[in-house]
Structure 1
Amino acid sequence: MSARPELHVITEAETEIETPPAVALAVVVAPETGEAEPVALDRLLGADSPRLSGESREHTLALAEQLRLCPPILVNRRTMQVVDGVHRVHAARARGEATIDAVFVDVDPDEAFLLAVRANTTHGLPLSLADRRAAAVRILAGNPAMSDRAVARATGLAPNTVGAIRLRSTVQCAQSNTARTGSDGRARPESTVEARRRAGAILSERPDTPLRQVARETGLSLGTAHDVRERLRHGRDPVPDGQRVRRAPRRRDRVPREPVAWSAIRAQFVKDPVVRYADSGRAVVRWLDARATDREEWRDMVDDVPDYWVDAMIDVAASCAREWQQFARELGRRSNS
């Protein structure tokens, strides 16, 4: 199998540029890898071209005059379809040639189209803005896990334009909303919010977990895993403010839960790095240690209060209950915001 040509992509400004054929011819770049070999023109099938308008007759005639200076065309060995160089094929036929030099690749149709878009974005007759937008829609349909930046590099569009096309496209699927494959071939979550939350939970439960392991378990990069750990150490949320999404308000009439004793959750609470590494977190622990009681621990104290202090102690207990209720209400407001 011939090696696939490495097609270097040069992102163009996102405007439709009318390039004269002579200029377009001058910027044709030959593939850098793969051995060229002559192939009979009558063996070649039409290209699956990203050009919506089809062949440019003017460009074909310009190429026919200087065909010997042009690089080999690119052909998919599986189908014998022209991947890149359809105008050169038309020019060769116009000159009465029987063969043309070609470099072969062995790829599936989606990969072939992606190669065609990359090639036509970097050299030859420029693709129009409409061509590149249509190509982005098709690439997303065949490769929904590709990141916006990777599609942008292939099509010459801006990443935010690709993102807008993805949102409008009817080809969205669950896969495209969970992970994206970047230009380096690595799959990463589309949004790091949930992955950061998971990383925070891992580091809270297992503070000594190596960052590389955290990165593997969550799909985050090593640098992002490090950022999560540093944020926790400084008592900050593992997700930066700009990435957080306001939660939908919870119903205030939620079903009361079973009472939870402070002693039942204390060990897990104090292991949380947000609590452990922050002065404010440690202050909360000390405050709760001094004030929270275990369920029904008070029963042992009822008979120990002198009779003449009972009425006063009732007022104290009621006051404490009101303070705890107010504390719970304030926490509830945070939960609902």
Structure 2
Amino acid sequence: MSTTTVSEKAVPVRRGGRAGGLLAAVGGQNLSLIGALAVMLALFGSLNGNYLSWTNIQVIAEAVTISGVLAVVQTVVIICGGLDISVGSQAGLYSVVSAMVFTSTGSSAVLGIAVALVMGAAVGVLNGVIIVYGRVNATIATLAGLAAYKGVAQLLSNGAAQGYVLNNSVFVFLSRGKIAALPVMVWILIVVALAVHVMLKYTDIGRNLYAIGGNDTAARLAGIAINKYLIAVYSLLGVVAAVAGILLTARTGSGQPTSGSEGLELQSITAAALGGCALKGGKGGVGGTLLAVALLGALENGLTVEGINAFWQNVAQGALLVVAVVIQQRRSGERAVGLPG
């Protein structure tokens, strides 16, 4: 006969203690990224004494700002089951537009920035409408946009840098200004990241986005206006791509149709996937994406400081994207294509 008492059955068994609580709060994915970042910083710091200096840390932070703001909002798009491969071309287009409007209107930085932001929202809506009402796969639709927006930027600029904006206090402030010892560009990334994090974690909008990505059929039956959400999300990404384009203009001093914007789509998607976003939707967060952005930035800066060929940076990014997707597939428990279960 069993001697187990009722009180013994009612007492839950705690496993893991403080370590388990930390893992639950931070997340295994994020802890892995923190560990990888720490190892990378220690490695490059041991190879070069200036790598961990405050000056170089600021250089890394500024360098990842543009890709960072795109990665944060790319995270939102992926969470709801979408993808945008055109963000790099969009950033180049808005960089050209902001500079051209600036120079053609008597150096009006505010007007140049405003036109770029409005255009970003409009192009984002166009992408969303094509995907939702044209019933075009998001990857195909935005792949077409990758080519089209790049072409428009080159047509407008004749393939050359446009204008010079660093004779204007607004652009100078964006590129060189500091607030509380941090560059303005870094503050912009912080503000965008905080706003998106709050939206995803603490609002009905965020919960609905996760629901759409997790199971769009159930979300539709629950009364969520999926089409409106998707168009709004792509519009948001268009606006943030415009912000990225404006920052690119401020950083380089002129409108750049391709230089500085090529590869941003790969960086944003890699950061989101490496940060824990499930490419099928329904999973992900800003914290993991920011850690992945920092990891990629630290890697790129370390390779540059050590004088390693810049082409290896692209190899590293591609490898990290594959690793992130492989880890996702293993964790999901899905059967590998072409292999027995």
| Length-normalised TM-score, structure 2 | 0.20
- Structure showing greater relative contact order (alpha-carbon pairs closer than 8 Å, 6 or more residues apart): 2
**Which structure: larger Rg?**
1
Structure number having the greater helix percentage: 2
Structure number having the greater strand percentage: 1
